[in-house]
A and B are shown apart, each in its own frame.
Chain A
Amino acid sequence: GAGVSQTPSNKVTEKGKYVELRCDPISGHTALYWYRQSLGQGPEFLIYFQGTGAADDSGLPNDRFFAVRPEGSVSTLKIQRTERGDSAVYLCASSLSLADEQYFGPGTRLTVT
């Protein structure tokens, strides 16, 4: 079946612009996670959802970052006033429920110029 998909695969934006990154989880998966991975490092947790609600958003670096999952399926990560330091690969994962295996998407490579 279809795995986790993320769009766009690549995004180049100018400093100060707003971006949205989309994640389509595996159908039926109630938990959804966002991570970001900078070059040469492991993924870093941002936020996870159980259903529509953000169960843990402790990894969001500041209030420029926000994520939603209004219908408990697709999620959008929103970044306002982008900075060069936001450049990274943003990874989405989903799992059947919390504590189950996380399945990862291919990531969105964000470059802020």
Chain B
Amino acid sequence: AQRVTQPEKLLSVFKGAPVELKCNYSYSGSPELFWYVQYSRQRLQLLLRHISRESIKGFTADLNKGETSFHLKKPFAQEEDSAMYYCALSTDSNYQLIWGAGTKLIIKP
């Protein structure tokens, strides 16, 4: 069965420090991977998806099929990056999203 694992429930870093939010998945086919973000009192919104290969708000994520990972990175964290981050996967056979449990990112001033 497909699975998404985000090993860190909470990640706290200082402003200006690099950030890496980990995401590992299990799926034997060709997945599509996503990062969603939920800021305080706001709805879930798409941050980036691996097929678009864009950098959004300074975040990037590379799909590593060998390690089955899709870690989210940002070189210099900003206070406004504080939020819940969810990694999600869809398979090549349907369009439902399979989600990790989320990582709460806190950027300390």
Contact = CB atoms under 8 A, between A and B. Distances in A.
B44 A91 contact: yes
B46 A101 contact: yes
A25 interface: no
Nearest to A58: B96
Contacts of A104: 43-45
Contacts of A14: none
B94 interface: yes
A56 B86 contact: no
**Do most interface residues of chain A lie in helix, strand or loop, or is the interface mixed?**
loop
Given A42-B86, A42-B101, A106 B43 contact: yes
Contacts of B101: 40-42
A101 B88 CA distance: 12
Contacts of A4: 43
Nearest to A101: B46
A90 interface: no
Nearest to A100: B95
Contacts of B46: 101-102
Interface of B: 4, 6, 9, 43-46, 49, 86, 88, 94-102
